[in-house]
Structure 1
Amino acid sequence: MPDLSPSGPPVSPPGGRALDRRIVALALPALGALVAEPLLVLIDSAVVGHLGAAELAGLALAGTVLTTVVGLCVFLAYATTAGVARALGAGDRRRALRLGVDGTWLAVILGAVLALLLMAAAGPVVDALGAPDDVRPHALAYLRWSAPGLPGMLAVLAATGALRGRLDTRTPLWVAAGGAVLNAGLSVGLVLGAGMGVAGSGLGTAIAQTAMAAVLVPVVAAGARTDDVGLRPSWAGLRSATRAGVPLLLRTVSLRAGILLAAWVAAGLGTAALAGHQVVMAVWSFAAFALDALAIAAQALVGQALGAGDRATARVVLRRTLTWGVGAGAVLGLVLAAGSGVVGPLFSPDAAVHDAVAPALLVVAVGLPMAGWTFVLDGVLIGAGDGRFLAWAGVATVAAYAPAALAVRALAPDGARGLTWAWLAYAGIFMGARALTTGLRSRTDAWARLGA
């Protein structure tokens, strides 16, 4: 296989089966690393769910807040992946490595600030989401114990993005797998063994993410030292990374706004619906991250092709990854539909939660092929550096979804039927608007900017 590390020349992928092999070689390790994150949520949900519905509902709200904070910062990974890939495509290894170093510094600084803010604002945030009285203390406990892990969480994002841009998806896989195993042990030990309850789940998450950062950051640093790239932060580089990330931050704000709206709708449908929503969202995230592995491959390959001035290859990558995305979504949808009735009991002994989960999962199953299309197109446009369009498209998507979310909150009945309507609005209207906007953009050449 050609050398695609920073010490070797960037190579544009060929077409046909050879391209399929390249996509799979990048996507499979990325899949493992991406699935590790929702796997942590699934494990925490399963452990906490056996404490009771109120504890699981508290994790639902607090977990949504934490993943929103981290999700808003996913530009640290995406912008770094695109920038590093394009620099390598243009043959500028030192610039690629410098982008990785500066992106990691930005992540650590931003994580420290956000950790302090989240600990201070945990109460008002939980209240704003409408937490019931029996849910509120559990949500607060999780947020306050997990917040110190934010610098590590964001450093993992930036370091992973730097390695992906170098077409290294294997190192993040092994680190993510180790983090998942560590988190599972900590969750069981702290929540059940030490009797910390939901607070133990938050502490376990913080410890596991910090340990992952302690492994990944030195890998990025070692790569920089091979080309005598300094490890101190470059203020010009930090400003450049921030400018590149702002459009992707705005795009991510729109995505997280949709998720927060969905959680707010579920909170208004009763404790059973909110607990069921946590289960369905955890499964959705698991499937979404699995499909997003193809988007990661598209980001890196499109970024290198455009950096090398090869628009034709970027188009070939787009078409092949779309085929993979829709097909993978269809397969996942069939599997989920077949198992929709057995998922609820894995997370909660409450029959009302079971009744809420099963029909909502069928809605998710039907929407997964469209989700595969959408995630791949999102990855292609990120790899192309088309962040400004994605920001505006995100605003349009929220504008389309918000009226439907408000209508469900106001008109839908409590419990299972209400949660089904909530997921019809999210998986149908919100994801449909994303699919439409990105699909129309991909039919033009405006996204395919050439050069580093």
Structure 2
Amino acid sequence: MTQGSGDETASMPLPTPRPLTRRAVFAQAWPIMLGQASVPLVGLVDTAVIGRTGDTSALAGVALGAVIIGLVFWSFGFLRMGMTGLTAQANGSGDPREVDALLLRALGIGMALGVVVLALSVPISQLAFAVLAGSDAVTGEASGYMEGRFYGAPAALAVYAINGWLLGLGRTREALALQIAMNLANIALDVWFVWGLDLGAFGVGLGTAFAEWIALALGLLIVGRVAGANILALTRRTPRTLLLDRTRLIQLFAVNRDIMIRTIALLILFTWFANAGARIGAVALAANHVLLQFVNVAAFILDAFAFTAEERVGQAYGARDRERFTRAIRLTSEFALASGVIFALAFMLAGGPVIDLLTTDPQVRETARTFLPFAALVPLVGMPSWMLDGVFIGTTRGRALRNAGVAATIIYIVLDLALRPFDNWGVWTAITASYLLRAGGLALYLPGLLRDVANTSQITNTDKSTR
């Protein structure tokens, strides 16, 4: 038997399943919720730091630059999403060596891709500004922001891999510590660079880049604690034959390819949304960016339950346990629906004062208040798509994710073009409908996924429904 081929783990006993109750789901989700809440908080602080200067062009430039950087960086989001599903399945099937190997593969890929992105930052920026609309003043500010952000590319993509690995193991508290540390560093550095050193939009981007390198250093320490060995020892103890196993690499690249296509399609969708505001004018672009912070708050926090679904569903799928699989979907979706209702009400009741806090420009304030109801509706219409994303990411059903994402983006663009005579009303109507399109596309694949999850006797169900 070849060491590291994976055969030596085939007879290992499967891990004892953790309780699958509402209490257990919430205990797993709340650290993610806090960590995710701090992500849009950084966006809020970035917006406020620039918005309080009263420079509309700078605010619009950060908005445009953030969209472009999101498109570039999150194109490699498979390093987080694919890792979560594959790690959860490897853990659920009782394959600890593959769990280690997955991390090492993803870290190597992430760092290498980050270096390539940094090296190509200038042509990437030139191409982006050739495609996206914006005045010279807005483009100049966006260029400065992006220049700062690109310095953090290798660290950012490596942190994606670490986060995906931690979430796949259900180590949400460690993921929380990493996220909080990065975001606190980001906030402090942004405030210092913009208000202290007067670096403007470039300071916002540079502060985020520094924070990403800090997060990578901390993430490697956390990995060592979870794995019981630092990254060098982990590399030494993982057989090279396993690390470079052709079958597993093919699976990794196949899953990641489809998730990457899906992610790029959705990033094009949101880039189109940002550019739609830029086409109308700087005020609309800035107002939509302010409202996007509300959407991000809801999306990131509700993602806590989607991420929990990824790990729980992925582990049940790896163990081929249909009962736990369907129960994981139901419990996580219950929490997500309740949270969506709460956010929708909160945005309608408190949205106005928050808008005033984020920007001092009277026109931006008025426009953002006008379209606030759309932002309040997103937590409700977006929840099904986010939860279905979690289910299909956890089961690494890349083909379904790819097809649904591409179809939703194409239909959204057609809808946005048709609604252009209605200006920003059409922009928000189309983006709201896009969430329903994504959910509908994935729902078509759900019956087939449920049929594929076979009941087995490998895991004893020790956590019957607690009501």
Whether the aligned pair in 2 keeps the contact of 1:329 and 1:369 (CA below 8 Å) is yes
1:184 paired residue number = 187
Residue 412 of structure 1 aligns with an amino acid whose one-letter code is F
Counterpart Cα distance in 2 of 1:119 and 1:25: 44
Aligned to 2:284: 273
How many residue pairs end up in the alignment? 436
* Correspondent of 1:356 among 359, 363, 367: 367
Q: Is 1:311 the counterpart of 2:316 in the alignment?
A: no
2:438 maps to amino acid: R
Matches of residues 149-298 of structure 1 in structure 2 within 5 Å? Answer: 149-224=152-227, 226=229, 229-230=234-235, 234-236=243-245, 240-298=251-309
Q: Quote the Cα distance in structure 1 between the aligned partners of 2:321 and 2:84.
A: 18
Say whether the 8 Å CA contact 1:397–1:430 is kept in structure 2. Answer: yes
Aligned to 2:429: 424
Q: CA deviation at 1:367?
A: 2.9
The answer to whether structure 1 residue 435 and structure 2 residue 439 are counterparts is: yes
Quote how far apart the aligned CAs of 1:366 are: 1.9
Paired with 2:121 and 2:181, the residues of 1 have a C-alpha distance of 27
Q: CA deviation at 1:40?
A: 1.5
TM-aligned CA distance change 1:11 to 1:440, over 3 Å: farther
| Equivalent position of 1:412 in the other structure | 422
Per-residue CA deviation, residues 118-160 of structure 1 (Å, 9 max, x unaligned), is 2333133123211112211101000111101011111111001
Deviations 1:291-346 (A, max 9, x none): 11101000001111111120121011112222221111111111011122222222
Q: Give, in whole Å, the separation in 1 of the partners of 2:227 and 2:90.
A: 14
Contact 1:102 1:241 in 2 (8 A): no
Report which stretch shifted further, 142-151 or 121-130.
121-130
| Greater Cα shift, 146-155 or 440-449 | 440-449
Give the Å deviation of 1:30. 1.0
Match of 1:109 among 112, 117, 132: 112
- What SS does the aligned partner of 1:135 have? helix
Which residue, out of 91, 103, 110, partners 2:94? 91
Contact kept? 2:295, 2:378, Cα under 8 Å:
no
* 1:154-194 deviation per Cα after TM superposition (whole angstroms, max 9, x unaligned): 11110011111111011121121122221111111111111
- Normalised to the residue count of structure 1, the TM-score between the two structures is 0.91
Describe the superposition over 1:199-218 as per-residue Cα deviations: whole angstroms up to 9, x where unpaired.
11111000001100111123
Does the aligned pair in 1 maintain the 2:294–2:347 contact within 8 Å? Answer: no
1:148 to 151, 162, 173: 151
Cα distance in 2 for partners of 1:222, 1:342 equals: 43
Which of 390, 395, 398 is the equivalent residue of 1:384?
395
Aligned counterpart, 1:374: 385
Is contact 1:191–1:200 with CA below 8 Å preserved after alignment? yes
Q: Structure 1 residues 246-255 or 36-45, which shifts more?
A: 36-45
The answer for unaligned runs of 5 or more in structure 2 is: 1-11, 457-467
Aligned 8 A contact 1:61 1:126 in 2: no
Sort the Cα spacing of 1:311 and 1:280 in 2 relative to 1 into closer, same or farther, 3 A: same
Between the aligned partners of 1:37 and 1:340, the Cα distance in structure 2 is 19
Q: Aligned with 2:211: secondary structure? A: helix
Q: Contact 1:85–1:307 (CA<8 Å) still a contact in 2?
A: yes
Larger Rg: 2
Give the AA of the match of 1:10: P
Alignment match, 1:445: 449
1:266 is paired with a residue whose SS is: helix
